[in-house]
A and B are shown apart, each in its own frame.
Chain A
Amino acid sequence: MVMTRRDFIKKTAALSAASFVGLNLPFAKHVDQAGATDADKWVRGSCRLCGLGCRVELGLKGGKPVAIRGVAKSRTNFGYLCMKGMLFYKVMEHPDRLKMPLYRESKKDAFREISWDEALDIAAKKFADAKKEFGGDSTAYYGSGQALTEETYLFQKVMRGGLQTNNVEGNPRLCMASAVGGYLTSFGADEPIGGYSNIEKSSCIFIIGSNMAEAHPVFFRRVMRRKMDNKDTVKVINADPRVSPTSRIADMHMQFRPGTDLAMLNAMAYVIIEEKLFDKKFISDYAVFKSGKNTVDMDTYFAELGDYTPEKAAVICGGNITGDMIRKAARWFAKSNGTVSCWCMGINQRKRGVWANNLINNLHILTGQLCKPGADSFSLTGQPNACGGVREGGGLCHILPGHRLVKKEKLRNQVESAWGIPAGRIPPKPGYHTMAMFKAVNEGKIKAIWINCTSPAQSLPNVDLYRKGMAREDVFMVCTDIFPTLTTELANLILPTAFHFEKTGVYGCTERRSQITPKCCDAPGEAHAEVWIVREWAKRLARELNDPVIEQCVAPFDGLEEGYDLPKAIWDEYTQKLTKGRDSDLTGATYGVLEQMHDGVQWPAATEEYALTGGTVIKFAREYDPMAESHAKDDKPFQFYGPAHPDKKLWIWSRPYKGADEEPDAEYPFYLSTGRIIDHWHTTSMTGRIPELLRANPYSFVEVNPRDAERMGIKPGDMVELESRRGRVEMPAKVVEGPIEGMVFAYWHDMHEDRMINKVVKDAFDPGSKEPEFKICAVKVRRLSGPKRLTPYVV
């Protein structure tokens, strides 16, 4: 076809616009017509995105990815995929992929391509110099719930055993740390007791602080199916300040003022006790009541709930909830044959996130809705390996592999012994947690930081404050990633990495299930698997510091081929030496076993024979969990052997209602909450490069309640300014009966400077979990103009 002048103008205009916005024309170039029917090979692995662990098969044609499909025999998804899961493979061949190491001495300079030898030498010298001059704690690793377990494990091994610092953190601190705190303080052990299969056996599903219809669509499908197939016998409660697509299947939506759910949850506990809906024997056999540092009795606990009668709580919650609704919810919860609670960031990303978790767990302990099919207190996770790699693999500043606390000498010594390094090598002091780490970067205390597979320059709260630190000339920053991001823009050294299916490794999903994804195609250019990068960097680091212990950290892996043998050796060391006998025992989940499974293995799974059954569906129940049998201290059916509770009991906590760190006032009169949409994931560095997903939601919007919109004269599509004490953004409005009156809700994915909502969000954090309160702060809302043509932005 001959191009007309008009076509030409259109195409050049599109090019100009694309240059301006930084897009590498994902629409124009991404025309690969090959599809599933063209695939000559299908390879089984896990989805790369959220924490559900949906199993997929990647279709290859001539070694190139051309299609994807769900694995019907997988217990995580039964073949179903969401839009993101169905399309993520398209980023693999994207022209923006990083292919060569890039370096600049000064952050004012342009990047230049360098060789791997040069890149690794530079990285080793900079970290070595920092350690020599300022000590090991002047170095840091900030990782990701998207890194493979083998990667997180090896990074933290080199940091702790090699550089002698516990400055090992990761973005899971931003999303699930409060759930960890909740599980440890309520149940004595991290991670859920049950799994997804409880949904199919439940009679009441209590969803709070989770828009699972968008954030976890394949799990939502199970909940939806359960409700639709059992309309009269299954009750779904959705408790959230915002009416979301998840609310469509709910029998009751409890819409409360942001942050007041602590009062609401206490009120449900009040009803359960007042109306004698509790399980007396379960409590007597397995639980104690805690108030502060004291163990108390039920009467004392109930007296402390006196401030939270349903009627009093309804007032605190702000108008859309009545005392009768709270009573009804408590009755449905307690009386059902099986109740599953599901929550996510709405509970975790809070100044009192651990307490909110405790209050949900309380309801399950009080009613005995635990350890049986159809009943669980179930925290959803946002990233594919936040549980497996970071929580279990030692990816946070206070924990070592296998759920060991840094501060316990005996546990440190176990790890040192397993690694063959001298006792006392791992420092006893936990490192900086995430917000403290980036504060230390701001203050120049950290001189060299390695950021792996995440973009804190966009994902931290109050982000402008912390971007200043990352931009400092005296902070050497390495980024390992597959695409340019807002964070790589602040780096000195960018190292290109292999993507999912371009390397082998294990992800551990939300339900304690570890699943392998094998390498089946090559990474572009000179990109390498992170495990190779860390090993080669550590060898150079050992030479720079003349320290044979650093060499010893990677000696067991020297010379191994990076695609399979290397990650397998790392996995073997981690599982066989450091999970054996721990509550997260993965000794039986060898690569050989994982490769045989359609899905994977739920820990604890101490033998290969047991792991081949799929592992432990319900922890602590002797009927399902061999470890409950081997750790039994009496003849009761449940044995709570978790490491955090010496009394091996469940703890019911008295926790008062506390509001958000920053509540609206006369100057900043609106609540701001932020969250996710179905088409995008995190910072859009991946989903923003997939045409279908970008087009479906090209920019952030702010949802405004219709009554608030009317008062402010805001119409759909109008440009609206959101301003807090920290920053301002402007984005188009959606006027919807979503957020409660007095609250606005913004999508967080957009990386455009004008619309990046984390510039506005507050960086207050939970004193226990150190997880920031992304979900609540105070803002001014102002109409700026009518609709405006906007441009999507991807670095």
Chain B
Amino acid sequence: MHRTILLLVALSILMVVAGCNNQEVATAPTSGILADHVDLEEWEMLTPCADCHREETPEIAEEWYASTHGIANVKCYQCHGTYEDMELVPSLDRCAACHEEKIDYSENAVVCWQCHPSHTFTGHK
């Protein structure tokens, strides 16, 4: 997970739709996880996460793309939420929307990514 955090923190320049005026971007950070995310105008938030993260966090993007989540089109926001409720590390609540039985089955409140590698998920660590 540390790598994920570092990569997200490193996301300092956000390329949005070409031709847009990036001079307007800088502003006070939102709270929580977004404090580590480059600040975005409202209209800039209309950019699919993967459009930037393919360049900014390519390893994660590739891991996801090759995973069953990637093939099945389970996109970033389905696990991580959007700007108002974003979680860098998704809560189990979000996983439970589809995987409740697996979570109930796991013992001692083990989280999914403790055994299944994040973004790949196939197999065990």
Q: Give residues in A with beta carbon < 8 Å to B.
A: 1, 4, 6-7, 10, 13-14, 17, 27, 30-31, 33, 35-37, 67-70, 72, 79-83, 86, 213-214, 217, 220-221, 224-225, 228, 245, 248-249, 678-679, 691-692, 694-698, 716-717, 732, 786-789, 791-792
A72:B101 contact, CB within 8 angstroms: yes
Question: Which A residues are CB-close (under 8 A) to B97?
Answer: 36, 67-70, 81, 86
B20:A224 contact, CB within 8 angstroms: no
A789:B77 contact, CB within 8 angstroms: no
Of B18, B47, B93, the residue contacting A695 (CB under 8 A) is: B47
Roughly how many angstroms separate A83 CA and B72 CA in the complex, as a whole number?
11
B96:A214 contact, CB within 8 angstroms: no
B99:A79 contact, CB within 8 angstroms: yes
Question: Which A residues are CB-close (under 8 A) to B73?
Answer: 82, 213-214, 217, 220, 245, 678
B27:A224 contact, CB within 8 angstroms: no
CB nearest neighbor in A for B74: A83
Roughly how many angstroms separate A217 CA and B48 CA in the complex, as a whole number?
18
A592 to chain B, nearest CB (A): 27
Which of the segments B56-64, B80-88, B112-120 contacts the partner chain?
B80-88
Given A27-B45, A691-B82, verify A228-B98 contact (CB < 8 Å).
no
B98:A80 contact, CB within 8 angstroms: yes
Question: Which A residues are CB-close (under 8 A) to B75?
Answer: 83, 678-679, 696
B80 to chain A, nearest CB (A): 10
- State which residues 92-125 of B face A: CB under 8 Å: 93, 96-101
B19:A248 contact, CB within 8 angstroms: no
A717:B46 contact, CB within 8 angstroms: no
B102 to chain A, nearest CB (A): 9
Of A35, A249, A695, the residue contacting B82 (CB under 8 A) is: A695
A36:B93 contact, CB within 8 angstroms: yes
B100:A72 contact, CB within 8 angstroms: yes
B46 to chain A, nearest CB (A): 4
Given A70-B98, A213-B73, A224-B71, verify A692-B82 contact (CB < 8 Å).
yes
- State which residues 1-54 of B face A: CB under 8 Å: 17-20, 27-28, 41-43, 45-49
Roughly how many angstroms separate A691 CA and B82 CA in the complex, as a whole number?
7
B46:A10 contact, CB within 8 angstroms: no
Most chain A CB neighbours (cut-off 10 Å) among B49, B74, B83, B98? B98
CB nearest neighbor in B for A225: B68
Instruction: Give the total of B residues in contact with A, Cβ under 8 Å.
Output: 35
Given A695-B46, A791-B43, verify A6-B82 contact (CB < 8 Å).
no
8 contacts between A and B (CB under 8 A): A31-B84, A31-B85, A79-B98, A82-B73, A83-B74, A86-B98, A691-B84, A792-B46
A786:B18 contact, CB within 8 angstroms: yes
Question: Which A residues are CB-close (under 8 A) to B96?
Answer: 36, 69
Of A6, A228, A787, the residue contacting B20 (CB under 8 A) is: A787
Question: Which A residues are CB-close (under 8 A) to B99?
Answer: 79
Given A213-B72, A221-B72, verify A787-B93 contact (CB < 8 Å).
no
B71:A249 contact, CB within 8 angstroms: yes
B67 to chain A, nearest CB (A): 11
Roughly how many angstroms separate A695 CA and B77 CA in the complex, as a whole number?
10
Question: Which B residues are CB-close (under 8 A) to A228?
Answer: 68, 71
